[in-house]
Chains A and B, each alone.
Chain A
Amino acid sequence: MGLLSKKDSKLIMDPLADNNPITIQVLGICSALAITAQLKPSIVMAISVMFVMGVGNVVISLMRNIIPSKIRIIVQLVVVATLVIIVDQVLKAYAYSLSKELSVFIGLIITNCIIMGRFEAFALANGTWRSFLDGIGNALGYGVILIIVGFFRELLGSGTLFGFKVLGDSVEKTGLYAIGYENNGFMVLPPMALIVVGIIIWVQRSRNKELIED
C-alpha cells in the first residue's frame, strides 16, 4: 500500500481478520444478532457504525490531552451520543423505512462495546490520523461479519438478497421452490444468528490455530 505505511495499514487489516472485534474479541454481538435477518439493514448498520467510529475516534483523539481522566467516560459517551443522534436523524430524514426497521438498534450504537473499547484503548493514546484508521478498521471488521451473517440469513431464511428473489418466488413456487425447496424459518430467528457467528468463529480458528485460546 503506497498510501499507508506498513504500520498504518496494519490498523485497517488487523481488525478485518486476526483481531476481529466480533469473532475474536466477541464484542458487539447484540446488534449482530438483532439486525442481520436481512442484508440491507446489516449494511446500513455497518456504515452507521463506521461513521460513528471514524469520526468519534478523531474527536476523542483531538481532545485526548484536555480530557480529565476522571470524567473521560462521560466525555466519550457525549461524543458517541452526538454522533449517533446525527446518524439517527439522517436515517429518519432520508431512509425512513430502514430507520423503522433498525428501530432502537441505531440508538443502541451508543452502547456498542466496540466503540467505547476503541476510544479507551486507542484514541485516548494515539494521534488523529492513526485513530481515524483504527476506527475505520474496526468498523470494517464489524461490518464484514454483519454482512456475512446477513447474507446467509437472508438467503437461507427468506430466499432473497437485498429483497430480490434470487431463489425464485416462494408463493408462486418458481425457481428452486418448484422442486420442493423451502425457506428455513429458523434462519430468521436471532438464535440462528448466534449459531452463524459461532460457525464463522469456528472456521476462522480452525484456519489459524494461533487464535485458539486454551
Chain B
Amino acid sequence: MGLKQNLHNIREKYKGTKMAPAFNALHTFLYTPNDTTHGGTHIKAADDLKRTMNTVIMALIPCLIFGMFNAGYQHYLAVGEIEAVTSGFFSSEFWTLQNFTLGFWKILPILLISYGVGLGIEFLFAVIKGHEVEEGYLVTGMLVPLIVPIDIPLWMLVVAVAFGVVIGKEVFGGTGMNILNPALTIRAFLFFAYPTWMSGDKVWVEGATERAKEIIAGSNADAISGETILGGLAQSHPIDYSVADMFFGFIPGSIGETSTLLILLGGLFLIFTKIGSWRIMLSSVIGALVMGYIFNLVVAAGWITETSNFYGLMNTEFWHHLLIGGMAFGIVYMATDPVTASQTNKGKWIYGFLIGFISIMIRVFNPAYPEGVMLAILLMNVFAPTIDHYVVQGNVKRRLKRGKLKTA
C-alpha cells in the first residue's frame, strides 16, 4: 500500500499544476483508477485504454523473449559455434542461456530507447497541451523493438521514434487521432531514410555488419551471411530453411517477427480477449493466400520463367508467404490497430483483404522493398476512413430504399 499511497499523495499535491498530467499518467498506469471515464456520457466499461494496451503488450511478450533467444542463436549459428536445431520448437540447443544473454543485452537498449524517447515526447506534449498523457505509446514502444533489425544503430532509432511520434501522431492530435500506425511510421521512416540498415543481407544477424567491415579492413575471417528468406527469394537464391524453421521462427529477420507459431498464439489471445479483430486477421490471411496463389498459377502457366526477376518470389508456395517476413506479425499486431483500421465490420473485411493482397503484390513486384506488409498496412490505413464511409453510406441507402418499399 505504501507505493500506492505515495503516488496518490503526489498526484493530489500536483493537481491542477502544469506537471499534473505526468503524475496522473504514472498513477493510472500502475493502478486501475476508480473512475475509468471522465465527464459526459461515455459507455462505462470495466477496462480503460491502459488495460487494453497492457493486454496487447502481454500478447507481445512471448515474441520479445523469443527474439532474444533467436538473436543469440542466429549469431552463434552464423559464426559456426553451434549447430542448427533439428528437434522441434523446444530444442535444448536453442533455449540456451548463452543465446539469451547475447540477445538480452542487444535488445534491452533498443527497448529502453524506444520507450524512453517515445514516452518522453508523449509526456512533453501532454505537459505543453495540458492534456492527460495518452496511453497510445505503450504498445507502439513494445512494437518498435520487435520490427527493427538487431544491428540497427541506436541513434537512428532515436531519430525515427521522435519522427514517428511527432509527425505520425502528435501533429494529428495524439492517440486516437492518428491516421497512420505510429510503429509502422517509425519503421517506414527508418526504411526510407537509412535503407542500408533496414534491408540487405547484413543487419539481420548480430555481428554481420561488424564482420563485413573487418573483412574490408583486411581481416581474413569468413563473412557472416544474415540474409533473410525474403531477401534471398527476391534475388532467386536457394533457401535452405525448412518449413518447420520458418514456422517456429529459427530464421533471420526483424527481432520479434520470426516466430509464426508465437504470433499465432498471440493472435488467438487477442481474439479471445476481444482486443484484436478476427475479421481483419482472417481476411488479411485470405487476401495474401489469394494473391500468392494467383502468382503460383502464373508461374505454372509458364508466363514467368526462371530468367525473370520475379521468379523467386512468385514461385514461392502461396502459403509460405505467411511464414516468411513480417507478414504474420503485421497482420496480427499492426493491421488490427483499432485506431487506424476500418471501424465497420464489412469495412474490416475489405480492409484486411486488401492488406494481404497488396502485401504480396509489393513483395513480388518490388524486390528492393521485399517487406510489402509494412507499406500495404500504411496504404490501407490511409484508405480505411474511405472504406468506412462507403460502407456506412451503402447501409444508409439500403435502409432508405427498404423504407420506401414499405410505404409504397
- The chain A residues found within 8 Å of chain B, CB to CB, are 180-182, 184-187, 189, 195, 198, 202
Contact = CB atoms under 8 A, between A and B. Distances in A.
Contact of B167 (A181, A184, A189, A195): A195
Contact of B195 (A181, A185, A187, A198): A185
Contact of B194 (A182, A195, A202): A182
Q: In the complex, which range does the number of interface residues on chain B fall in?
A: 10 to 19
24 contacts: A180-B153, A180-B155, A181-B155, A182-B153, A182-B156, A182-B194, A182-B196, A182-B197, A184-B159, A184-B193, A184-B194, A185-B192, A185-B193, A185-B194, A185-B195, A186-B189, A186-B192, A186-B193, A187-B193, A189-B192, A195-B167, A198-B167, A198-B171, A202-B171
Given A180-B155, A184-B193, A202-B171, 17 more contacts: A180-B153, A181-B155, A182-B156, A182-B194, A182-B196, A184-B159, A184-B194, A185-B193, A185-B194, A185-B195, A186-B189, A186-B192, A186-B193, A187-B193, A189-B192, A195-B167, A198-B167
Interface of A, secondary structure class, is helix
Contacts of A195: 167
Contacts of A180: 153, 155
Nearest to B197: A182
Nearest to B194: A182
A173 to B, nearest CB: 10
A184 B162 CA distance: 14
Interface of B, secondary structure class, is helix
Nearest to A180: B153
Nearest to A157: B193
Interface string B189-215: 100111111000000000000000000
A149 B197 CA distance: 26
Most buried by A among B155, B159, B193, B196: B193
Most buried by B among A181, A185, A195: A185
B287 to A, nearest CB: 26
A184 B189 CA distance: 9
A198 B192 CA distance: 19
Contacts of A202: 171
A8 B215 CA distance: 67
A202 to B, nearest CB: 7
A195 B168 CA distance: 11
The 5 closest A-B pairs by CB, nearest first: A186-B193, A186-B192, A184-B193, A185-B193, A182-B194
Contacts of B153: 180, 182
A25 to B, nearest CB: 20
A126 B135 CA distance: 56
Interface in B202-243: none
Interface string B143-175: 000000000010110010000000100010000
Most buried by A among B155, B156, B192: B192
Contacts of B167: 195, 198
Nearest to B193: A186
A182 B196 CA distance: 10
Contacts of A187: 193
Contacts of A181: 155
Interface in B113-165: 153, 155-156, 159
Contacts of B156: 182
Contacts of B159: 184
A189 B155 CA distance: 21
Contacts of A182: 153, 156, 194, 196-197
A49 B156 CA distance: 37
Contacts of A185: 192-195
Nearest to B196: A182
Nearest to A202: B171
A103 B230 CA distance: 38
Nearest to A191: B192
A202 B189 CA distance: 20
Contacts of A198: 167, 171
A196 B194 CA distance: 18
Contacts of A184: 159, 193-194
A178 to B, nearest CB: 13
Nearest to B156: A182
B348 to A, nearest CB: 28
A198 B194 CA distance: 22
B394 to A, nearest CB: 32
A202 B197 CA distance: 31
B325 to A, nearest CB: 22
A93 B303 CA distance: 51
A83 B171 CA distance: 40
Contacts of B195: 185
Contacts of B189: 186
A117 B31 CA distance: 59
